[in-house]
Amino acid sequence: MTISRRRAERSLKQKGFVQDNKEHRRFYLYVDGLKTTVRTYTSHGGREIDDHLLNLMKRELRLRTNRQARELLICPMTGEDYIRWLRERGILR
């Protein structure tokens, strides 16, 4: 199952990620106005995120499963849920 890159990017922005426009599209998670170490990238060239790319993004986003990554990128998981999940695992304070 592929995910539209635009849809994923829009979802990331809605959940507290800020885009850094450089070679690739970098997205950094900001919490309470502070930049965190959680980040991911999307390519300018690709229009779809396939399972391989989803697996790479899953690791960057510090998630455990592709299903969690898919839920984050297509919206069932809210930004608050994601931040809570990261805090429960000690990734964020």
Whether this model's pTM surpasses 0.75: yes
pLDDT at 45: 75
pLDDT digits (tens, 9 = 90+) for 52-84: 999 999 999 999 999 999 999 998 899 999 999
pLDDT at 21: 74
Task: Sketch the domain layout of the chain as residue ranges.
Answer: 3-88
DSSP three-state, residue 74: helix
pLDDT digits (tens, 9 = 90+) for 29-47: 999 999 999 999 987 777 8
pLDDT at 25: 86
- Rounded-to-integer distance, Cα 41 and Cα 60, Å: 8
User: Do 15 and 78 touch, CB atoms closer than 8 A?
Assistant: yes
